Amino acid sequence: MRILRITLYLLIAACFVACKNDPKTKKPEKITIDVPTFNADMAYRFIEKQVSFGPRVPNTPSHDSCAAWLVRELHELGARVVIQHADLKAYTGEILKAQNIIAVYNPDAKRRVMLAAHWDTRHLAEWDADPERRMEPILGADDGGSGVGVLLEIARNLDVHKIENLGVDIVLFDAEDCGQPQGGGGFPEQKDTWCLGSQHWSKNKHEANYRPMYGILLDMVGSKNARFSREGVSMKYASGIMNKVWTEGQNAGYSSYFDFAKTREIIDDHLYVNKLAKIPMIDIVNRPVTSQTGFGKYWHTHDDQLDIIDKKTLTAVGQTVLNVLYKESAGAF
Ligand code: AHN
Ligand code: ZN
């Protein structure tokens, strides 16, 4: 009996020591990760440059000149650049000569994150206060310019501060903003008229086996007092990523921008990337609390110009995404 009791004690003690040495029960050590600093002045300059071309509407010289500049710029920023040309049919019947521009960093890395934004701008200003000017194309400093501006500054950081064990693909979608306006715009109602570039890419990825862990879409990420809520499509397909990015944004000190409130689903490039390409992708998109359209007051109006861009907003988004990328590369999530 006594021997049995001693054996039992010994067993318990042995187990205790074993548990103590089990690495799984150890508290994780604090790792410090070097994350580069996002430069909002640079991002702003990239927006300024895009706006200097005028509206970037498919089938216009401004559009094509801007594409050529984007390709040159990304190449200079050390990326491998792939251009995907496509003829896409708009709701008007017009064939749009579109270009999706893809910048690849660390092509050999297995673990990858995809970042995206649309680079085209809207051919209409259907929400403008002045009915006379509703048929004119918009400058799209925020809607088009800001997402690309932030991504180019991220590209610059990836070039200067080489990222380990992680591939990053920056995908600039064309023909996002060519959608049919409410009421049809004089044409019969059609489905899936927005996001033609991302629809095409999702069915014809630049690499057949392309499979990033997840994607982050930036859309209207530059206006003053922007508010990024947890949008419905992002929550449906990628709530884990959403919560990770929003938590990172809040921890980095940007809680006035990253709001955990849920808002209704929207049609944006991430919808097709989720549905057709089956890549979980979230959308960081400005959804003000009080707004008739669900977007900013400047949305699809001639107020969408450089003067609505606020560097603080660019920093909140750009720094948050950089933190996510460099933490991901260090395996810190
Ligand atoms: C809809 O209006 C249905 N979606 C808006 C997507 C968009 C347009 N983002 C920027 N411009
Ligand atoms: Zn738009």
pLDDT, greater one: 12 or 302:
302
For residue 3, being part of any structural domain is answered with: no
Which is the closest atom of ligand 1 to the Cα of 144?
10
Ligand minimally distant from the alpha carbon of residue 137: 2
pLDDT at 290: 81
Structural domain boundaries enclosing 232: 38-329
Q: How many domains does the chain have?
A: 1
**Digit-coded pLDDT (tens) for 134-174:** 999 999 999 999 999 999 999 999 999 999 999 999 999 99
CATH number at residue 215: 3.40.630.10
For residue 282, being part of any structural domain is answered with: yes
**Digit-coded pLDDT (tens) for 179-208:** 999 999 999 999 999 999 999 999 999 998
Ligand minimally distant from the alpha carbon of residue 300: 2
pLDDT at 32: 84
For residue 15, being part of any structural domain is answered with: no
For residue 31, being part of any structural domain is answered with: no
Q: What is the mean pLDDT of residues 76-94?
A: 98
**For residue 13, is it left (φ>0), alpha (ψ between -120 and 50) or beta?**
alpha
CA nearest ligand 1 atom 3, residue:
267
For residue 16, being part of any structural domain is answered with: no
**Ligand 1 site, residue 174, Cβ cutoff 6 A:** no
Residue corresponding to tokens 């530059």: 222
Pocket test for ligand 1, best of 177, 271, 284 (most atoms within 8 A of CB): 177
**Digit-coded pLDDT (tens) for 228-287:** 999 999 999 999 999 999 999 999 999 999 999 999 999 999 999 999 999 999 999 999
For residue 135, being part of any structural domain is answered with: yes
pLDDT at 26: 59
Which is the closest atom of ligand 1 to the Cα of 268?
6
For residue 292, being part of any structural domain is answered with: yes
Confidence of residue 292 (pLDDT cuts 50, 70, 90): confident
Mean pLDDT value across the chain? 93
**Digit-coded pLDDT (tens) for 88-135:** 999 999 999 999 999 999 999 999 999 999 999 999 999 999 999 999
Residue 5 CA to ligand 1 centre (angstroms): 73
The answer on pLDDT for 7 being more than 80 is: no
For residue 214, being part of any structural domain is answered with: yes
**Ligand 1 site, residue 276, Cβ cutoff 6 A:** no
Of 236, 235, 312, which is closest to residue 246 (Cα–Cα)? 235
Confidence of residue 17 (pLDDT cuts 50, 70, 90): very low
Phi/psi at 163 (5° precision): -95, 130
Q: What is the mean pLDDT of residues 45-67?
A: 99
